[in-house]
Amino acid sequence: MKYFIMNLGCQMNQADSERIQSVLETMGLVKTEMEAEASVLGVVACSVRQKAIDKVHSKIHEWNERKQGQNLLTFLSGCILPADEDAFLRKFDVVFPIKDLSRVPELLRGSGIVTPLSQAPQPDATGMEHFWNVKPQYSSTFEAFVPIQNGCDKFCTFCAVPYTRGREVSRPSQAILEEVRNLVDRGYKSITLLGQNVNSYGLDKPGVERSFTELLQEIGEYGKTSGRKFWVYFTSPHPRDMGRDVLETVARYEVLAKHIHLPLQSGDDKVLIRMNRNHSMDRYRTIVHEVRELLPDATLITDIIVGFTGETEEQFENTRLAMREFGYQMAFVAPYSPRPGAASARWSDDVPLPTKKERLRVLTEELHLSSLAYNQRLVGSKLRVLVERSDRKEGYLAARTEGKIPIRFASTDLTLVGQFAEVLVESVRPLSMEGQLL
Ligand code: SF4
């Protein structure tokens, strides 16, 4: 019996999918990339994004139509708002939050899926403990996402994550270190520690669990003793918990990638208060200065929302000025849209769409300027890059630098995919570069 999973969410949802796949395979199900030949069809989605919800509805409508002539089972998981669960249950056969992964065999059996192994006994652990113990089916052979924490205690007013994934829970550090070491030993080159607030790791278990800095130190030490080359990233940190010790640790170890993700969301103090971000622009500025001082070559990336409820022209201008001041190499800028379940969804979405689009255009221009200026400084340098795939341009391979800047170079040698290579940077554009393989 074959299964098909569609992922409509972020990296966190990808990590969810990889563990769901493992559980399905221990039940004897076989993965297929072809939807039409699967009998078990699943969506792992971020149900806090309207776009994803719309896609989920259209997909389940299509699958339910197919059910007329076939025996199919459908399921939904990922970030699901409790309020949506009942509505989705009327359309899907099985709906489960990711913390209930241990119940999946039982839920599928209850819906009529009987496979040779589906009678296997229930695992000892339940909840997130079970989820974290499941060995994932990594979707890449050289890049992996390792969840280190689930949930969030921050309650930003525009976000529904604390309601879909619950409060912050840290995964035991021993298990994280084991997974990371295992990946390194298997030759993985890029490992990303994932969580909604990675740098508040361990705060829910004070005195019992390692802090985030200590976790990074352990990984850094393993990088030294293993003698292997790899890069470790982490996302997303919250400026509120971004201590100098984290940056000092990144600076100390070669395997900790010189790439810092620091969500700005808005460059205006009043908007930050309405967003409940719990830090000021002064605090954010101090962190950026520390990044520049301790990690002068690091790339800095951010997330920004434009047109948040009540955002005035002057407040938006403060965000534009902040972007110019901090000179990001990459920014994920999104026009505000109310997320069902989030506190701000109760407020008027009063910035007109054309204004949001114009603000997005202005920030994209700023990003192009800062990214180009950074990339121009790299022309003529030799960089270690991780080769990812064939490029869209024929005869070229696509790679990324340690700072995650896309770079392509002429080569058709596919054995380089998943390996580090050395490239001389020859020409640059905003957000990308081209070079020559050395
Ligand atoms: S945006 Fe705010 S509430 Fe949402 S996951 Fe990040 S820190 Fe938590």
pLDDT at 66: 87
How large is the angle between the packed helices 281-294 and 313-326, nearest 10 degrees? 10
Residue 16 burial (C-beta neighbours within 10 Å; 0-12, 13-18, 19+): buried
Nearest ligand 1 atom, CA 265: 1
Does the domain formed by 2-127 have CATH 3.60.21?
no
Please give the pLDDT value at position 117: 53
Give the distance, in angstroms, between the CA of residue 362 and the centroid of all CA atoms in the same chain.
Answer: 25
| CA pair distance 335, 326, nearest whole angstrom | 20
> Fold identical between 140-257 and 286-377?
yes
- The CATH number corresponding to 382-437 among 2.40.50.140, 3.40.50.150, 3.10.20.740, 3.30.420.10 equals 2.40.50.140
Please give the Cα distance from 124 to 231 (Å, whole number).
34
Distance CA 44, CA 56 (A): 9
Q: Residue 419: its pLDDT value, please?
A: 98
Calculate how far, in angstroms, residue 153's C-alpha sits from the geometric centre of ligand 1: 8
Distance 359 CA to ligand 1 centre (A): 22
Distance (Å) from CA 154 to ligand 1 centroid:
6
- How many angstroms separate the alpha carbon of residue 306 from the centre of ligand 1? 16
Among candidate residues 144, 145, 147, the one with its CA nearest the CA of residue 176: 147
Position 186 confidence tier, pLDDT thresholds 50, 70, 90: very high
Q: What is the pLDDT of residues 324-333, one digit of tens each?
A: 999 999 999 9
Task: Write down the pLDDT at residue 344.
Answer: 94
Q: For atom 6 of ligand 1, which residue has the closest CA?
A: 196
**What are the domain boundaries of the chain?**
2-127, 140-257, 286-377, 382-437
**Residue 82: what pLDDT?**
77
Residue-level pLDDT at 123: 58
Distance 420 CA to ligand 1 centre (A): 34
Q: Which of 55, 60, 62 shows the shortest CA–CA distance to 75?
A: 60
pLDDT of residue 325: 98
Q: How far is CA 359 from the centre of its chain?
A: 25
Residue 225 has a pLDDT of 96
What is the model's pLDDT at position 67? Answer: 83
**pLDDT grade for 129, boundaries at 50, 70 and 90:** confident
Q: What is the pLDDT of residues 20-54, one digit of tens each?
A: 999 999 888 999 999 989 999 999 987 666 777 78
Q: For ligand 1, which residues put their CB under 6 angstroms from it?
A: 152, 154-156, 159, 161-162, 196-197, 238
The segment with the largest mean pLDDT, out of 7-16, 48-57, 186-195, is 186-195
Does residue 290 have a pLDDT over 80?
A: yes
Q: Residues 144-165: what's their mean pLDDT?
A: 91
- Model confidence pLDDT, tens digit, residues 237-260: 999 999 999 999 999 999 999 999
| 79 vs 402 pLDDT, higher one | 402
Residue 88 pLDDT: 87
* CATH 3.60.15.10 assigned to 286-377: no
Query: Given 3.30.540.10, 3.90.1210.10, 3.30.750.210, 3.30.1490.20, which CATH number is that of 140-257?
Result: 3.30.750.210
Model pLDDT, residue 201: 95
Mutate which of 153, 154, 201 for ligand 1 pocket (most atoms within 8 A of beta carbon): 154
Percentage of the chain exceeding pLDDT 90: 72
Which atom from ligand 1 is nearest to the alpha carbon of 276?
A: 2
pLDDT range class, residue 78, cuts 50, 70, 90 = confident
Residue 119 has pLDDT above 80, yes or no: no
Mean pLDDT of the chain: 92
